Amino acid sequence: MQKLGRLMLAWITKFWMPLAITVGMLAVAVSVTTVMLYKQQITVQIPNLTLRENRGVTSTPISVLKQGEHLQILQENDGWYQVRREDESTGWVASWLLERTKPLDKVTPLSEATIVLDPGHGGNDPGAKSNSGKMEKTYTLLLAQRVAKTLRATGARVIMTRNSDKLVYLSQIPKVAENANADAFISFHFDSVDEANTASGFTAYYYHKDNGSKDLAQAINDAMNPNMPLENRGIDRAEYVVLIDNKVPATLLENGYINSERDFKQIKSPAYRKLIAKDVAQGLETYFDNRVKTVN
């Protein structure tokens, strides 16, 4: 009996235990694979999403995805998913729209765009000051946050260089747009002059002429022109670091003179921020509509 017991133990050790381990490992592998496959599947929740040949709002459109359609995610790059449809065709779609469940009034090129917003100054850099000592950094953040809210309502992907009262070094700001492969960059500021109450108005600045920056500044300025309660000083070229070092279409908006009593009355008003946000969104709509038409 002892010999038989030893033989059975030897058999179990040699054959059964490795087999059990193998079966266990296969079960784990199947479970992991099932979970991974499940995670790679996604259902289109909102209608009229554009499937494109490559990632990016200016890439050639292939077709329109149907609400309820099931897709397999193949990879993610720069915020875009490469997907496979049930007919085995593939293409790229903006991930933030594919994952969105809240309906949009309409899907536009702006909905597919990544926008970086830069509230000027922050932290130990207060920027310019009003006649009563109010700091520019406070109002640039409030304005950028209002613009972000409006843009997100259109479906756009919005990235802020700061969301609180902190300093982001000038050299790092353009990198935020570059790392995000942004479609547009907007920096928000308020102007100032040496002698208080001697200047008024809003201006849109650009630096690069040939990468879409000038067109971006013009489109936003044109949208703001009919509605703003301040004088339109137009667009101009300026050598600001956040514009010079930016590899994406970039503009810097001066939205009034903070040491002008007339302008500051607007600057501190929530209604003024809401107005600018609406106009910036409209300017971006026009800019991207034109870009898509030009490319395609």
* Pair 88, 103: CB distance under 8 Å: no
- Whether 51 and 64 have beta carbons less than 8 Å apart is answered as yes
- In eight-state DSSP terms, residue 294 is H
Determine the Cα–Cα distance for residues 144 and 273; give it in Å rounded to an integer. 9
Rounded Cα distance, 33 and 178, in Å: 35
> What pLDDT was estimated at residue 295?
72
- Cα distances (angstroms) measured from residue 17 to each of 12, 13, 31, 121, 238: 6, 6, 21, 66, 74
Q: Quick check: 67 and 44 in contact, CB under 8 A?
A: yes
- Both tokens of 119, joined, read 């509230």
Element spanning 264, H or E: helix 261-267
Task: Calculate the CA 57 to chain-centre distance.
Answer: 12
Under 8 Å between Cβ of 43 and 70:
yes
> Starting from the edge strand earliest in sequence, which strands make up the sheet with 184-191, in order?
157-160, 114-119, 184-191, 250-257, 202-206, 232-237
CA distance 200 to 116: 27
* Domains of the chain with bracketed CATH: 41-98 (2.30.30.40), 109-295 (3.40.630.40)
d(CA 23, CA 169): 56
Amino acid identity at 36: M
Per-residue model confidence as pLDDT tens for the chain (296 residues): 555 456 555 545 565 555 555 545 554 443 433 334 445 899 999 999 999 999 999 999 999 999 999 999 999 999 999 999 999 999 999 999 999 999 999 999 999 999 999 999 999 999 999 999 999 999 999 999 999 999 999 999 999 999 999 999 999 999 999 999 999 999 999 999 999 999 999 999 999 999 999 999 999 999 999 999 999 999 999 999 999 999 999 999 999 999 999 999 999 999 999 999 999 999 999 999 999 888 76
Distance of CA 24 to the CA centre of its chain: 44
Structural contact between residues 79 and 259, judged by C-beta atoms closer than 8 angstroms: no
**For the chain, how are helix, strand and coil distributed in percent, rounded to 5?**
40, 25, 35
Q: Find tokens 């790092």 and name the residue.
A: 172
Model pLDDT, residue 246 = 98
Tell me if 181 sits within 8 A of 246, measured CB to CB. Answer: no
Distance, CA of 206 to CA of 249 (rounded, Å): 9
The confidence score (pLDDT) of residue 28 equals 42
Q: With beta carbons less than 8 A apart as the criterion, state whether 233 and 247 touch.
A: no
Q: Which residues of 121-157 are buried (b: 16+ CB within 10 A; e: fewer)?
A: bbeeeebbebeeebbbbbbbbbbbbbbbebbeebbbb
Residues 264/131, Cβ–Cβ less than 8 Å? yes
